[in-house]
Amino acid sequence: MRKPGVWLPAYIRTYVERDVKLLRNIENSLLFNRFLQWCAGRAGQQVNVAALSKESGIDVRTVNAWLGILQSSYIIHLLPPYFKNFNKRIVKTPKLYFIETGLACFPLSIHSEKELSLSHFRGALFENYVIMEIFKKKYNSGSNNQLYYWRDNNGLAVDLLIDTGSRLLPVEIKSAQTFQKEYLHAINKWNGFRGNKGGLL
């Protein structure tokens, strides 16, 4: 079995040099690799096409096309927001996650657990890992339960909502080692809006 430090760069090279060219003829593979890095830096964040375009110097149309390539080739997953049945203003932009968290770590030069523990990307990558493991479990079990996140324009957010069929179960994800009461704030607010109880932390 190959070590991640060997397998991940080889996979990325193969993906860019072979698989991407089957989907779309990308002449500048170096720029596409850098685009993958920019996306990795935004794991767990709302997709901001304009910001990606400005930072990368790639036009908006190409950014949208390349995001589509990453999504259709199962490199990233765009988690949709939940905004039904709310009178207040709710964010309606999807959040970006890497289906394989290692493929987000490698472009960020994170090659070990120690480097991850010291990285300012740790919280976002931990959230990425947890949400994608739940997504994979749902997919592999053949479940039709949908996954969402929720955020209002004041910044109040629930990391994940699992549609169980009878309710939307709120999930809050933290990489901290100790429990803090404020971690329950978003779950409690969500349950107040919906008239429900419980959730996962």
**Range in 1-5, 35-39, 57-61, 82-86 with the lowest mean pLDDT:** 1-5
Query: For every residue of the chain, which 3-state class applies, written as one string?
Result: CCCHHHHHHHHHHHHHHHHHHHHCCCCCHHHHHHHHHHHHCCCCCECCHHHHHHHHCCCHHHHHHHHHHHHHCCCEEEECECCCCCCCCECCCCEEEECCCHHHHHHHCCCCHHHHHHCCCHHHHHHHHHHHHHHHHHHHCCCCCCEEEEEECCCCEEEEEEECCCCEEEECCCCCCCCCHHHHHHHHHHHHHHCCCCCEC
Assess contact for 47 and 64: CB atoms under 8 A. Answer: no
Assess contact for 63 and 49: CB atoms under 8 A. Answer: yes
Tell which wins on pLDDT, 80 or 73. Answer: 80
Over the stretch 9-28, which tens digit does the pLDDT of each residue have? 777 777 776 777 666 667 77
Assess contact for 129 and 113: CB atoms under 8 A. Answer: no
In the predicted structure, residue 74 carries a pLDDT above the cut 70: yes
**Range in 54-58, 67-71, 133-137 with the lowest mean pLDDT:** 54-58
User: What is the pLDDT at residue 57?
Assistant: 87
Cα-based distances in Å from 23 to 59, 68, 72, 123, 190:
19, 10, 9, 32, 41
CA-to-CA distance for 4 and 33, rounded, in angstroms? Answer: 18
Query: Position of tokens 């607010």?
Result: 189
Mean pLDDT to the nearest integer, 148-175: 87
Mean pLDDT to the nearest integer, 65-80: 92
Averaged pLDDT score across all residues of the chain: 84
Contacts of 162 (CB under 8 A, 6+ apart): 134, 145, 147, 168, 169, 171
Map out the domains of the chain with their CATH numbers. Answer: 4-194 (1.10.10.10)
Mean pLDDT to the nearest integer, 152-171: 87
Tell which wins on pLDDT, 116 or 3. Answer: 116
In the predicted structure, residue 158 carries a pLDDT above the cut 80: yes
pLDDT tier, 86 (very low <50, low <70, confident <90, very high otherwise) = low
Mean pLDDT to the nearest integer, 42-54: 93
pLDDT tier, 88 (very low <50, low <70, confident <90, very high otherwise) = low
Assess contact for 197 and 191: CB atoms under 8 A. Answer: yes
In the predicted structure, residue 163 carries a pLDDT above the cut 60: yes
User: What is the pLDDT at residue 191?
Assistant: 81
User: What is the pLDDT at residue 40?
Assistant: 93
pLDDT tier, 125 (very low <50, low <70, confident <90, very high otherwise) = very high
